[in-house]
Amino acid sequence: MNGRGGKLLLPVLAVLFGFALGALVLVVTGKSPLGMFEAMLQGVTGYNVETRAFNARHVGEFIAQTLPIILTGLSVGFAFRTGLFNIGAEGQLMAGSTAATAVALWVPAPPGLHVCLVLLAAMAAGGLWGAVPGYLKARFNVHEVVVAIMMNYIALFLNNWAVVELFHSGDRVRTATFPASAMLKSHALSALTSGSRLNWGFVPVLLSLFVYWFIIERTTFGFSLRAVGFNQDGARYAGMKVKRNTIASMVIAGAFAGLAGAVITVGIFSFGRALPAAEGYGFDGIAVALVGGNGALGICFSGLLFGMLKAAQLLMQTQGIPKEIASIIQGSILLFVAMKYGIDYVGRKLRPAKAWEDGS
């Protein structure tokens, strides 16, 4: 499993395993796996195999669903490159969402500028939320995973409080609708896809993918981040600032997740929401980053893969297939990816024997 081929093999195996297990669950519970695959096809291409009808709305929804999880994938992936586990994308997203709501409702600004301010505020809030576990890790050597989990819940309840008390939600569930200048909504894109929720959100997402690739692969800063991820002591010995890099990495990771919050709040929705529980975009990001191998291109593709699962959910439900099969598949894929070391270990044990069999 060396080189590029080996890097691809594991995620592909994990995805196949996940779908196989999902299909098995469907068969055992008396549902049709074919229906699931048809729903996924329809979710991505808009083509309905049964009625032979095409509906562009599904394509638009698929892309709209994919955008935030690519961003949380970038968030988790960025931290992974520095050897940090950002389980806090969920809370950073929520903080970004709250900040986006505040700027959208309170800051008067001309069209064009307003939406940029909304996105920047969300990134700043997400970055701040990421900075807390980053700083505590660097300064007090507290494990970032535990702090980030706690920060997720703090963000959730802070958001709910803000929606009701600060933004004066009448019905305790949502704020007033944002002014059009604050939103990523596009009538043209929506009309093009038969009324889907597709929006300008893909622009910041594409920019983020580029920025991620550029920082990680093309800058000295990105190199020193990766060096810290490979070997902290080595990086410190080479004169790199491990503590500074730890904080910086979490701030940037948080900014990606915060942006995801804005893309959801002012792109898919048009109002701030109080939520009974987190929606799981942060956990999706963990799956996206790990399956995508923490590279920009990989994260983009695995984001599309998990976006497809999300997009197919409603279609499956209408066909009588419980939509939670998507979570079962996603969890299985993640479990399989987690076993990477073990699989590598077994692979290493088998390899010499296999090379000998090949006889070359």
Partner 1 sequence: MTILVTMFPIALIYATPILIAALGGLYSERSGIVNIALEGIMMIGAFVAAAVTVALEPNPLAGYYGILAGVVAGTLFSLLHAFASVHLRADQVVSGTALNILAGGLTIYLCQIFFDQQRTTAFATGIAKVSVPGLAALPGLGPLLFRDVYPTSWLALLLVVATAFCINRTPFGLRLRACGEHPQAAASMGVSVVGMRYAGVLISGALAGLAGATLVLTQDIQYSLTSVHGTGFIALACLIFGKWNPYGVLGAGLFFGFSQATSIYAKDIPLLRQVPQDFFFMLPYLLTVIALVVFSGKSVGPRAAGEVYDPGKR
Question: By C-beta, is 2 or 141 nearer to partner 1?
Answer: 141
For partner 1, the binding residue among 9, 338, 350, 355 (CB under 8 A) is 338
Q: Note whether 167 and 105 are within 8 A (CB).
A: yes
- What token pair was written down for 38? 């048809």
Closest CA to 142 of 247, 249, 237: 247
Residue 9 engages partner 1 in binding (rule: CB under 8 A): no
Residue 89 engages partner 1 in binding (rule: CB under 8 A): no
Residue 136 engages partner 1 in binding (rule: CB under 8 A): yes
CB of 155 to partner 1, least distance (A): 9
Question: Distance between CA 32 and CA 43 in Å, rounded?
Answer: 17
Residue 173 engages partner 1 in binding (rule: CB under 8 A): no
Which residues, 6+ apart, have CB-to-CB distance to 129 below 8 Å?
A: 88, 91, 92, 95, 96, 151, 155, 254, 257, 258
Query: Can you count the helices (H) and strands (E) in the chain?
Result: 15, 2
350 by DSSP, 3-state: which? helix
Instruction: Count the residues of the shown chain that bind partner 1, applying the rule CB under 8 A.
Output: 51
Please choose, out of 205-213, 250-258, 262-270, 273-281, the segment that lies near partner 1 by the rule CB under 8 A. Answer: 273-281
CB of 290 to partner 1, least distance (A): 7
Q: What are 334's strand-pairing partners?
A: none
- What token pair was written down for 316? 């499956």
For partner 1, the binding residue among 140, 233, 356, 358 (CB under 8 A) is 140
C-alpha pair distances (Å), 157 with each of 40, 52, 62, 153, 277: 34, 46, 29, 6, 9
Residue 290 engages partner 1 in binding (rule: CB under 8 A): yes
Residue 330 engages partner 1 in binding (rule: CB under 8 A): yes
Residue 85 engages partner 1 in binding (rule: CB under 8 A): yes
Question: Distance between CA 44 and CA 62 in Å, rounded?
Answer: 6
CB of 219 to partner 1, least distance (A): 27
For partner 1, the binding residue among 54, 214, 230, 345 (CB under 8 A) is 345
Where is 206: in which H helix or E strand? Answer: helix 202-218
In the block, residue with structure tokens 């469907």: 26
Site string for partner 1, 188-227 (x = CB under 8 A): ----------------------------------------
Please choose, out of 42-50, 208-216, 284-292, 297-305, the segment that lies near partner 1 by the rule CB under 8 A. Answer: 284-292
Question: What part of residues 27-56 is at the interface with partner 1 (CB under 8 A)?
Answer: 29-30
Torsion of CA 6, 7, 10, 14, to 10 degrees: -150
- Phi-psi bin for 41: left (phi > 0), alpha (psi -120 to 50), beta? alpha
Point out which residues bind partner 1 (CB under 8 A).
25, 29-30, 85, 87, 132, 136, 140-143, 145-147, 149-151, 153-154, 157-158, 160-161, 164-165, 276-277, 280, 283, 286-287, 290, 322, 324-328, 330-332, 334-335, 337-343, 345
